[in-house]
Homo-oligomer: A and B are copies of this chain.
């Protein structure tokens, strides 16, 4: 699955539609994966991303310690693995093994890419001032990778209680409508 480097100025097109993402971290020889829906773009280039990581999650402590992660974007064919990842804790489960996912080497951070995901964003943690009150972290994207286009990519959007909206049709509306 050869991926192409993706322009940082276009990263917003990956996250702006609100897909469920998988956040990977690495610390002390172990990796972890967390499912996340509470994220948003904050700036275009360099891409800055805001996200909420529960202080009860295993990822919370690792992210604060290592100050880096990868945001991996899964497609609908991975939905069962996404739910499994969101229903287990990295404290007791090696999620790459349990869910048969392939860790790949990132180029800027030590956290692994999930090879099966259609896009991967290598991030560092640049601001934790909202962490104590809101579990709010601010990330900077340094490298972005995406599977070459050509195939329709359908991401999933969590709607609560295990329900997901799958991407439907793409429509284009020119901004000349005023």
Contacts and interface: CB of A to CB of B under 8 A. Distances in A.
A41 B84 CA distance: 22
Interface in A65-90: 76, 79-80, 82-84, 86-88
Interface stretch (A25-33, A48-56, A109-117): A48-56
Given A164-B170, A171-B79, A17 B84 contact: no
Interface in A11-38: 12-13, 16-19, 37-38
Chain A: number of interface residues, binned into ranges: 35 or more
A136 B50 contact: yes
A49 to B, nearest CB: 10
A94 to B, nearest CB: 13
Q: Name the residue in A43, A50, A52, A127 with the highest tally of chain B Cβ atoms < 10 Å from its Cβ.
A: A50
Chain A contact surface mostly:
mixed
Q: Name the residue in A86, A154, A160 with the highest tally of chain B Cβ atoms < 10 Å from its Cβ.
A: A160
Contact of A160 (B12, B98, B154, B165): B12
B40 A177 contact: no
A58 interface: no
A48 B134 contact: yes
